[in-house]
Amino acid sequence: MHGAQTAVRWGAIADDFTGATDLATNWVARGVRTTVTLGVPTAGELAALAGAGGAGGGGGDAVVIALKSRTAPVAEAVAESLAALAALRALGCERIYDKYCSTFDSTPRGNIGPVADALMAELDTGIAVVVPSFPATGRTVYRGHLFVGDQLLGDSPMRHHPLTPMTDASLVRLLAPQTAHPVTTVGLDVVRGDPRALRAALDAAGSDGRRYAVVDAIDNGDLARIAAATADHPLVTGGSGLALGLPARGAPATGAMPVVPGHRAVLAGSASAATRGQIDAARSALPSRRLDLAALRDDPAAEVARLTDWARAHWAAAPDTPVLVHSAGSPQDIERRTPEGQRPAAELVEEALAGCAVAFAGAGARQFVVAGGETSGSVVRALGVRRLELGPALAPGVSWAMGPDARGTRYNLALKSGNFGERSLFTSAWKELG
C-alpha cells in the first residue's frame, strides 16, 4: 500500500475493540508502529497522540480508533465512525482503513454498508475494495463468497451467532441491502494476473459507478497484490488480513510485553464455537464459573459479588492462578430466545463481565484475557482504559497489550475475537507474560 521509503499515515476505524487490536497486531507484525485508542480521542488525547508521534506527529505509522459500533443503531454507528474519521484526519492520516470482522458480522440493515457509505462520501472516493479475507485464521474469499475454513460462511457456526447470524456466504448479497451503491466482484484470476489488470478492473468499476469491489483472496500473496493495486486509494474496507499485504517496514516487535503485577482472569462473553472450545480446554486447568443467567436477571450485582468472592478465595490460595468466568461452555448454554419482557442475554453478559472486571481489579487483578468483541468493549470501557501499547502476537490477530486507566493504574489485556485463537489460548497466553 506504500513504498518502503514512504512515510505511513494510516488511520483505521474498527467496529469493535478486538477488531482494533487484531488490525494493530497485523500492522505491528509488518513493522508498522501502531497506537490503539479506545473510543474517539478527546482534544487532549489528540494533542497527546500528535506530540507522542502518532500519525502526523512524525514518529508513529498508524492509529487505530476502536469503537463499539458493530451492533449499535445504524445512525449511532455512522456518527461515531465519522467522528473517528475527523479525529484521524486531524492527526494527518492520509489513508483510512474501515475495519470490520473477517466473518462480515452484520445485519441486513448494517452496519458495514452504512458506515462505508458515510466514509466514502466524506472522503469523496469513487471505489473501495471489500476484503474480509484473513487466510491465517481460515477466512478466504473465492468467487465473491466468504469461507470459514472449508465451509461457506452460511454453513459455518456463524449462522448461529446470537447478535449477527450469518446465513449467506455471498458478499454481494450481504452488502447490497446495506448500501446505496452497486457492488461488483473481482475474481482470483484477475488478482493473480497482470498487476495492471487488477488496477484497471478497480478503476473501471469506479468509473462505471460500482462503488464497492469484493476482491477474491485466498492467501497472503493475494492480499499483497490487492495492497499494491490500492496503493493510492484513500479508503479500503475489510478485515485485518489486508494489513498483512503491506510491504514490511522493519522487523516485527519481539521484546517481552511489560508485565503489570497482579492477579489473572479470563472473561469470556463470546458464545462462538472457538471460544467454547477454549473454555472446554481451560476448565480442567483453571478454576471456572459460568454466569448464571437466572441470577443475573434477578440480581446482577449479587451475581457479580458472588463471583468476586469466589475469585478472591482462589487468589488467596494461589495468587498467580488465573480464574475463568464464562457465559457459554456448550451450545445448550446459549439462550436462543429472550423470554418475553426480559433483557437479552447478550446485554446481561456484557454488563456482568464488565462488572466482574471492575470488581476483580478492585481485588488486585491486573491481567485479563477477554473473549468476544462486544465483551471486550464493555470490559475495557468499564476499566477506563483509553489507549493501548501492543506487544508481540499470541496467535493470528491476538496479542497482549498494556494500557492505563485515568488514574494511571496499568493493565495487561489480551482482547480476543470470539472466533480467534488456538484451543489452549486461555492457559497458554500467560506464558508470554512470564
Q: Could you read off the pLDDT of 183-205 as tens digits, one per residue? A: 999 999 999 999 999 999 999 99
What residues does 140 pair with on adjacent strands? 147
User: Is residue 114 a contact partner of residue 28, using CB atoms and an 8 Å limit?
Assistant: no
From 242, 204, 198, select the one nearest 221 (Cα to Cα).
242
Sign of dihedral through CA atoms 12, 418, 136, 113?
negative
Q: Can you spell out the DSSP letters for 69-132?
A: -TTS-HHHHHHHHHHHHHHHHHTT--EEEEE--TT---BTTBSHHHHHHHHHHHHT-S-EEEE-
Residue with cell 506487544: 391
pLDDT for res 215: 98
Model pLDDT for residues 150-194, shown as the tens digit of each residue: 999 999 988 888 778 999 999 999 999 999 999 999 999 999 999
pLDDT at 7 over 50: no
pLDDT computed for residue 144 by the predictor: 98
Tell me which residue of 3, 55, 177 sits closest to 104, measured CA to CA.
Answer: 177
Consecutive H or E run containing 2: none
Q: List strand residue ranges (DSSP E) for 125-204, in order.
A: 128-131, 139-142, 145-148, 151-152, 183-186
The per-residue pLDDT for range 305-318, each reduced to its tens digit, is 999 999 999 999 99
Q: Return the residue matching grid coordinates 496503493.
A: 231
Question: Residues 85-129: pLDDT tens digits?
Answer: 999 999 999 899 999 999 999 999 999 999 999 999 999 999 999
Arithmetic mean of pLDDT, 248-274: 83
Torsion of CA 103, 107, 108, 112, to 10 degrees: -60
The per-residue pLDDT for 57 is 43
The structure's pTM equals: 0.84
pLDDT tens digits, 348-394: 999 999 999 999 999 999 999 999 988 998 999 999 999 998 887 88
Q: Are 351 and 379 in contact (CB under 8 A)?
A: no
